[in-house]
Structure 1
Amino acid sequence: MKGLFPQYDYSGSIDHAETWKTAMFVFDTNALLNLYRYRERTREELLEALEKLSDRIWIPHHVALEFQRNRLTVIAAQGRRFSEIRKVIDKAKSDLTNSINNLQLKKRHTLIDPEPLIIGFETLTADFLQELDTLQQNQQTLNTPDPIKNRVEEIFDGRVGPAFSSQDELERHNKAADLRYKSKIPPGYMDKEKDRNEPDDFFHNGLIYKKKYGDYILWSQILAYSAERKPQKLIFITDDAKEDWWNLVELDGPKTIGPRAELIEEALRVGNLDTFLMYRPEGFLKFAKEFLAAEVSDDTLREVRDVSLENKKNKSIMYDSSDPKSSIYLAVASWILDTYNMLEDRSGECPDFIANDGDKNHGFIVQIIRRTSSNEITRAIEKAIHASSISTLDTITVVFIVETAMEAQQIQEFIVSKKIITSQNNLLINISQVTSKRGSPFLAPYLYCNYNDIPLF
């Protein structure tokens, strides 16, 4: 058996130092877009590491295309953080002042003087906001010259693979991807539901692409490059953490062992490689420090790791359609995306989803009602009130999922009966049923209104 199944060997026997001497380095879109998420020093250290490998780097055409298409979205998301932190500070200042005023210390306890605290907090926040203004001035904006884009284009000048020559060629890849996804052959099958949440097609240079096939397309372009150029050794750097790229083994939580065995086998068989490795950005920088003598600080490694973890939290909303609960959450996500452009899946945290309409954040809590229960209804609303009080959400919606119109009426009557009393003006209630629409889960609302304005049936 020895040597028959190299794709299943995760013993760490590969000589990374020897591989780094001759390997080609290929980068995924997410690894390049992270440059907009890093601080200046981290970004510069990563770019310098790329420049040290300038004669041995390459990206598929689809990676270059997705980088150009998605960079403005990432820039906009980073820009929103400045307004979000300002809201947090304003709320903290207001809460502190109101809470102290409510104590009526001047009347009830003249020995306690809160003025030094209030003045000190004002000074502290003013200094921070001034520093924030300076940082924002250096932040990349949507319509100003983009030095990061220019630098990436210079580094990969002449090192981008060819584009598809025709729609027929692209369609052949789409059909191959579809067959692979049905059999869960990696990579990309975790993106098979992508078109259910948002428009899947986009148009570029006369061709119509489907976003859900992006991972397979870039993988096929890597294999074609390897088979033609015969680099023997190839290292792929991606910040995608999904199971259709990595071998995840359950051991007190999912543990990443290495790339999927199917990918290794295909890289060796189709790409004619003798060595195929995959790194996350942190791993790439660790080895760059060791084998290239690249300047990589511990702070940089920490930030790269933190950004990767944040990206994993904000992964696309993907659910197993065979799981009834997953179908419900998918229907809710699709319904939210009918109104809002951006959606973050919180993977079981509270709230379950956060949507953004440009300058406001809206939270959504999903409560599945199996049997109408006053305790479940009360807990869901209390959870929403608590989430609203400790966050910067402009609105928060409790989405009650019911099976029948009678259950919807019972929930509505319970809320109106004033067994729950609240003054939350930003709390909304949605009572809905999940049905099927063209084979896909679909949210059919019975009621959607402000908590304080719920009418009787």
Structure 2
Amino acid sequence: MATPDETPRPGDLYFGFEAYQTFSDNDLREVLRTAMVVFDTNVLLNLYRYNAETRASIVDVLTALGDRFWVPHQVMEEFWRNRERALVDPLGQIQQTVEELEKLRSSAVDQLRMWVNRAVVSKADEAQVEAEINEAFASAAELLKGLIDETSVQRARSTQNDPVLSLLEPVLAGRVGAAMSSETYATAVKEGKRRVEAGEPPGFADIAKAARGGEGPSGDYLVWEQTLIEATARALPVVLVTGDVKRDWWRFEGGNARGPRVELAREMKSRSGQRLYFLRPDKLLEIADAVAVSVRPGSVEDIERTTRIEDEGAKERSHGGWTIEALEVLLRRLNYEAPVQEATIRFACQNDGYVSRDDVYRLGEYDPLRQLKGFTRPVNRIVQSAGSTDSECPLRLCSCSGSERAPESGSASNGDLDSKRRQDTDLTSGGLIGLETSYKSLEAQGSDFRYRMAGPSEMTLT
């Protein structure tokens, strides 16, 4: 069995397929003793969400790594850009929890009063139970508010009073990469955007950032390119520590993140001659004894808990995160790979939301006898390859059986369409096709597609 320090030779089982090789914790310990360790932005920002013991454990590891610890310039750019937001995030989380508790308290009181109306209960007993409910929820809310000192958080906005910066400043001294030249930066941003549109890693999962200023969706590629340059200069294998598990970075098997995407591992090997490894921050602490660090009790669990909360929050935010600019980027890719479907979507947007069956055939220059079996598949495939799951899909075509009637105009929700989703069917006089996005749903019965606005803002694709 090949080990991390053995480079596969031509003709070997793993030669050219190193990304598929998995390693034990002991193997990873060996890697950690010699590799360049790179931190992604999310790991640094999460120091504001971890408790003091966990922060100290992570900084202990960074100190032990010495000069082998390195941070790309783009990571620091993103860190400073998002620092204050991360700083106050715990306050927002507590406030949100308190608001949810208030909703539950109100619901509990309502249930009590409904029960009282059906039972023989004295007013005094009702008042006592209601008072105890109110007191219990109020006590829980006060306990939550006391967990974080808001004054200390606000004071930490000043870099002079920020405990995280106090920990990071000495360990980052001399370990942050230099900024790219303006010419190199512009070239990298252009390449990053090209990869997003082409669905090439890394960064295509950030297509929703296409409308943002600066580097837009190219941030991940800038981190990657700077890491490639540094790995080449140092001639060391690379361990990237990241809390994000996105499909434009990780290779998934059976829904589980197994390691770097094959394309990234091969690009690292081609550019630098080095191997690439990915670690989650909790795994980094689990193998920290490799660099003689004793992790404080509860640190791994603290990271796992924070990661779980972040993952849940990301799923909640993803549905509304697609801007018109981001959809335009996606449609440009559709134009390359599924031009008829892309033209059909645009035609509907430009013609009061309707596309007749004849128009679909005209747009595709199809033979009148041709069936439209599988018409939805290219759109769904491309969207999924961009890193979207069923729960966060920004654009999806759905086919339904002709026996099911379409909802009345303006009445269908994404849930209604979900209940009617079927395998791809022919677009015939009885067919039903629906297009869903974060902002629109498209319905079709018989010969027409029908758009309906739904979401935080109306959009027109031109």
TM-score (ref. length: structure 1): 0.65
Is 1:161 equivalent to 2:177 in the alignment?
yes
The whole-number CA distance in structure 2 between the counterparts of 1:15 and 1:380 is 47
The whole-number CA distance in structure 2 between the counterparts of 1:272 and 1:382 is 52
- Alignment partner for residue 90 of structure 1, among 83, 91, 102? 102
- Alignment partner for residue 16 of structure 2, among 5, 12, 36? 5
The whole-number CA distance in structure 2 between the counterparts of 1:34 and 1:78 is 11
- In structure 1, the residue matched to 2:421 is none
- In structure 1, the residue matched to 2:245 is 241
Q: Is the 8 A contact 1:400 1:431 kept in 2?
A: no
- In structure 2, the residue matched to 1:451 is none
- In structure 2, the residue matched to 1:40 is 52
- In structure 1, the residue matched to 2:224 is 219
How many Å apart are 1:59 and its aligned residue? 0.3
Q: Tell me whether 180-189 or 26-35 shows the greater mean CA deviation.
A: 180-189
Is 1:140 equivalent to 2:153 in the alignment?
yes
Q: Tell me whether 19-28 or 373-382 shows the greater mean CA deviation.
A: 373-382
Q: Is the 8 A contact 2:19 2:259 kept in 1?
A: no
Output aligned runs, 1:7-156, within 5 Å: 7-12=18-23, 15-104=27-116, 108-110=120-122, 113-137=125-149, 140-141=153-154, 143-144=157-158, 145-156=161-172
How many Å apart are 1:143 and its aligned residue? 3.4
Output aligned runs, 1:332-347, within 5 Å: none
Output aligned runs, 1:50-449, within 5 Å: 50-104=62-116, 108-110=120-122, 113-137=125-149, 140-141=153-154, 143-144=157-158, 145-166=161-182, 168-195=183-210, 198-199=211-212, 201-202=213-214, 210-230=215-235, 232-249=236-253, 251=254, 254-273=255-274, 275-289=275-289, 292-297=292-297, 299-313=298-312, 314=314, 317=321, 321=331, 322=334, 372-373=406-407, 377=411, 401=442, 435-437=460-462
The whole-number CA distance in structure 2 between the counterparts of 1:430 and 1:265 is 41
Q: Deviations over 1:23-47 (max 9, x none)?
A: 2211010111111222333333223
Q: Is the 8 A contact 1:285 1:296 kept in 2?
A: no
Q: Is the 8 A contact 1:369 1:376 kept in 2?
A: no
Gap regions ≥5 residues in structure 2? 1-10, 350-386, 418-437
Cα distance, 1:399–1:234 mapped onto 2, change above 3 Å? closer
* Greater helix fraction, Structure 1 or Structure 2: 2
Cα distance, 1:111–1:400 mapped onto 2, change above 3 Å? same
How many Å apart are 1:64 and its aligned residue? 0.8
How many Å apart are 1:228 and its aligned residue? 1.6
Cα distance, 1:173–1:348 mapped onto 2, change above 3 Å? closer
What SS class does the counterpart of residue 33 from structure 1 fall into?
A: helix
Cα distance, 1:346–1:123 mapped onto 2, change above 3 Å? farther
The whole-number CA distance in structure 2 between the counterparts of 1:431 and 1:402 is 19
What SS class does the counterpart of residue 108 from structure 1 fall into?
A: coil
Q: RCO (CA 8 Å, sep 6+): is it higher in 1 or 2?
A: 2
Cα distance, 1:161–1:107 mapped onto 2, change above 3 Å? closer
Q: Is the 8 A contact 2:249 2:261 kept in 1?
A: yes
Q: Is the 8 A contact 2:101 2:137 kept in 1?
A: yes
How many Å apart are 1:287 and its aligned residue? 1.3
What SS class does the counterpart of residue 272 from structure 2 fall into?
A: coil
Q: Deviations over 1:242-271 (max 9, x none)?
A: 11111112x2xx121211122222223312
The whole-number CA distance in structure 1 between the counterparts of 2:17 and 2:439 is 51
Gap regions ≥5 residues in structure 1? 203-209, 332-344, 354-365, 384-396, 412-427, 438-457
- In structure 1, the residue matched to 2:374 is none
How many Å apart are 1:381 and its aligned residue? 9.8
How many Å apart are 1:367 and its aligned residue? 12
* Greater strand fraction, Structure 1 or Structure 2: 1
The whole-number CA distance in structure 1 between the counterparts of 2:309 and 2:116 is 42
Q: Tell me whether 21-30 or 52-61 shows the greater mean CA deviation.
A: 52-61
The whole-number CA distance in structure 2 between the counterparts of 1:310 and 1:54 is 31
Q: Is the 8 A contact 1:286 1:296 kept in 2?
A: no
The whole-number CA distance in structure 2 between the counterparts of 1:223 and 1:34 is 24
Q: Deviations over 1:263-320 (max 9, x none)?
A: 22222331232x42111112211111465342143x4323322332343341654786
How many Å apart are 1:78 and its aligned residue? 2.9
TM-score (ref. length: structure 2): 0.65
The whole-number CA distance in structure 2 between the counterparts of 1:430 and 1:159 is 44
The whole-number CA distance in structure 1 between the counterparts of 2:456 and 2:81 is 37
- In structure 1, the residue matched to 2:368 is none
The one-letter code of the counterpart of 2:163 is P
What SS class does the counterpart of residue 194 from structure 1 fall into?
A: helix
